[in-house]
Amino acid sequence: MTRVIFLGPPGAGKGTQAQILCASAEVPHISTGDILRAAVKAKTELGQKAEGYMSAGELVPDDLILGLIRERLSEADAANGWLLDGFPRNVEQANFLNELLEEIGQTCEVVVNLEVPDDELVTRMLARGRKDDQEDVIRNRLEVYREQTEPLIDLYNGRKQLVSVDGNQEMAAVSAELKKIVRGAKAEAQTGAQTGAQTGA
Ligand code: ADP
């Protein structure tokens, strides 16, 4: 089973690396940013509500996000694993996810923190040129990340689930490292499950 959360600041390469990893691990790439952008494009109710927050670089309110995650994780393809990219993004979302996983009898194997220095993040996002990649919006997204998302690093570290990866290397080097980490976490989870079965724990 592969169940992974990708943490890390905007522009760290979570989306790109998630796609590569999901293709090899054969699990769905669940990106709240992608889901929201598709909703904006399709002009759904969710998209219309989310658009203003996104273009300002603010987080979309939890009440729009939590139900969406609950539904997405209960879809058939998520039964065999998943990679969450862009969720959870604040402590409330992390607590919600924790309860949801308990409720559906799943556990996250590893939380990957992709580390990239701020000046490199800004350079990458400006080069990417997405609608919310203008300098003032980028600055706000980084600030929102520091305030709301970064506390999750300590939270998952405290649960011994966190692994940090230097995202400021060549793309292939990051991919190779991530693959190794996920393979290791998967093996560890299997060993744990077997030991648990043997000892009756
Ligand atoms: P990046 O990692 O570059 O910021 P994302 O695609 O993950 O890009 O997110 C883009 C925008 O979508 C965010 O700035 C935010 O407005 C919204 N968003 C994505 N995921 C969440 C989430 N879990 N909670 C609230 N808002 C979110």
pLDDT interval class at 200 (50, 70, 90): very low
pLDDT exceeds cutoff 50 at 201: no
What residue segments make up the domains of the chain, in order of their start? 2-186
Whole-angstrom CA distances from 31 to 89, 130, 189 are 12, 16, 24
Amino acid letter, 23: A
91-106 as b/e: b if 16+ CB within 10 A = eebbebbeeeeeeeeb
Q: How big, in percent rounded to 5, are the helix, strand and coil portions of the chain?
A: 65, 10, 25
User: Treating both helix axes as pointing N-terminal to C-terminal, what angle do 91-103 and 151-158 enclose, rounded to 10 degrees?
Assistant: 40
Which residue is associated with the tokens 């769905």?
A: 28
CATH number for the segment(s) 2-186: 3.40.50.300
Please give all residues whose beta carbon lies within 6 A of any atom in ligand 1, as ranges.
10-11, 14, 32-33, 36, 53-54, 57-60, 65, 86-87, 89, 93, 141
pLDDT in tens, 31-50: 999 999 999 999 999 999 99
98-150 tens-digit pLDDT: 999 999 999 999 999 999 999 999 999 999 989 999 999 999 999 999 999 99
Q: Going by CA atoms, what residue is nearest to atom 16 of ligand 1? A: 54
Average pLDDT, the chain: 94
Confidence label for 186 from pLDDT (cuts 50, 70 and 90): confident
**pTM greater than 0.85 (yes/no):** yes
Candidate from 91, 95, 132 with most ligand 1 atoms within 8 A of CB, to mutate: 132
Other Cβ atoms less than 10 A from the Cβ of 27: the count is 21
pLDDT attached to residue 15: 96
